[in-house]
């Protein structure tokens, strides 16, 4: 009932946030919520808006559409290629970003997938867990040096890394550690909860990372803010492979437009309330801090945070090498 009530309630309009000194990155910006979020940011007039797409043709097309739709100057927007099903692509993107000398005030990780079955990636993982979880956090870790540099240069406010999760993380109630392990994503029993589990992992990891930032040996980490965002059920391309009549009717009845859902991204990325250090690791829903699932808020959920954290770090280090950027977190 609460879900229906909030879905059908109008969201507040966006404030005219000041972004003229900010560099903002939005992943998965060619369609859906990523595109709508990029359009919101573009209308605010950032110093630089960087949109990521999986190939150059989509990138150029996205820039053209954003220029046309928002009036952002071509000098203030560019695209970069990023393929999250490949760790090599993530590493290359981050290495080139760092080399470019650009700052990074806001990283919005919107790119995600929701296929209904197991798909192996070239790196040997299930597509859903690699794109939504492993690569999403690998990108965050690889860009930490840039976020820190930005934190050292700007007096205030703090740089933010926003991870787009979902209300469907509620669907995975009382999971065991093995249900949340990366290896579970290769097994048949996962089929129905594959996407929801990936979204729960994002919520648990962001909450844990907020704690690690607060206790990091690197003082700049205390200035970095990270949140998850639930945009609500929205019209987009997310269900492109399983858009059956039930999904069609549900969306027709209650889905928000992408423009509305993406307001949540902007609130998490720019609102003063969302920049308060004591709220770090929060779950943004309906343009305010919302409540994570009962499991996430329970002692069992809290105990699961380091379990999933240790596994993701181990898996990423095994596949991609030492994660030097997070060595101050232990």
Ligand X SMILES: NC(=O)c1ccc[n+]([C@@H]2O[C@H](COP(=O)([O-])OP(=O)(O)OC[C@H]3O[C@@H](n4cnc5c(N)ncnc54)[C@H](OP(=O)(O)O)[C@@H]3O)[C@@H](O)[C@H]2O)c1
| Active site residues per annotation | 165, 195, 199
Query: Least Å distance between CB 194 and ligand X?
Result: 12
Out of 19, 24, 129, 131, name the contact with ligand X by CB under 6 A: 131
Angle at 37 between CA 214 and CA 145, to 5 degrees: 35
SS3 110: coil
34 binds ligand X (CB under 6 A): yes
Helix (H) or strand (E) holding 174: none
164 binds ligand X (CB under 6 A): yes
Residue by residue, DSSP assigns 136-153 as: HHHHHHHHHHHHHHHHHH
SS3 289: strand
111 binds ligand X (CB under 6 A): yes
C-alpha torsion 132→278→50→263, nearest 10:
80
Report how many helices (DSSP H) and strands (DSSP E) the chain contains, helices first.
Answer: 11, 7
Stretch that binds ligand X, among 3-11, 76-84, 147-155, 281-289 (CB under 6 A): 76-84
Q: Give the C-alpha separation, 110 to 97, whole Å.
A: 18
For residues 220-259, which are near ligand X according to CB under 6 A? 231, 233-234, 236-238
Q: Give the C-alpha separation, 259 to 48, whole Å.
A: 21
Helix (H) or strand (E) holding 264: helix 258-270
Binding mask 167-206 for ligand X (x = CB under 6 A): ----------------------------------------
Q: Which residue is nearest to ligand X (CB)?
A: 32
Out of 23, 103, 166, 293, name the contact with ligand X by CB under 6 A: 166
Nearer to ligand X, 83 or 221 (CB): 83
SS3 255: coil
Residues binding ligand X: number (CB under 6 A): 25
28 binds ligand X (CB under 6 A): yes
Out of 19, 22, 25, 32, name the contact with ligand X by CB under 6 A: 32
Which whole-number Å values give the CA distances from 189 to 43, 152, 192, 295, in the listed order?
Answer: 44, 46, 7, 20
63 binds ligand X (CB under 6 A): no
**Positions in the binding site for ligand X (CB under 6 A):** 28, 30-34, 54, 58, 82-85, 110-113, 131, 164, 166, 231, 233-234, 236-238
């Amino acid at each position: 009932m609460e879900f229906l009530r909030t879905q059908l309630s109008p969201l507040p309009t966006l404030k005219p946030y000041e972004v003229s000194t900010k560099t903002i990155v939005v992943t998965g910006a060619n369609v859906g919520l990523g595109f709508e979020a990029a359009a919101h940011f573009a209308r605010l007039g950032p110093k630089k808006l960087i949109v990521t797409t999986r190939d150059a043709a989509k990138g150029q097309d996205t820039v053209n559409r954003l220029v046309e739709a928002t009036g952002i100057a071509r000098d203030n927007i560019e695209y970069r290629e990023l393929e999250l099903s490949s760790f090599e692509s993530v590493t290359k993107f981050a290495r080139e970003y760092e080399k470019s000398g650009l700052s990074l005030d806001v990283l919005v990780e919107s790119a995600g997938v929701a296929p209904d079955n197991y798909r192996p990636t070239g790196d040997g993982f299930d597509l859903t867990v690699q794109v939504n979880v492993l690569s999403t956090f690998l990108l965050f870790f690889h860009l930490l040096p840039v976020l820190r540099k930005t934190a050292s240069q700007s007096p205030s406010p703090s740089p933010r890394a926003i991870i787009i999760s979902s209300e469907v993380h509620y669907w995975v109630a009382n999971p065991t550690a093995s249900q949340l392990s990366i290896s579970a994503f290769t097994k048949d029993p996962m089929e129905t909860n594959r996407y929801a589990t990936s979204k729960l992992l994002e919520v648990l990891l962001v909450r844990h990372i907020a704690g690690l930032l607060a206790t990091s040996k690197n003082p700049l980490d205390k200035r970095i803010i990270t949140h998850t965002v639930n945009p609500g059920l929205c019209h987009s391309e997310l269900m492109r492979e399983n858009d059956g009549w039930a999904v069609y009717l549900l969306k027709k009845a209650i889905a928000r437009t992408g423009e509305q859902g993406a307001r949540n991204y902007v609130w998490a990325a720019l609102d003063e309330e969302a920049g308060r250090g004591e709220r770090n690791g929060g779950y943004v829903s309906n343009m305010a801090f919302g409540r994570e699932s009962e499991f996430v808020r329970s002692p069992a959920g809290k105990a699961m945070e380091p379990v999933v954290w240790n596994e993701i770090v181990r898996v990423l280090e095994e596949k991609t090498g030492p994660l030097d950027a997070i060595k101050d977190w232990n």
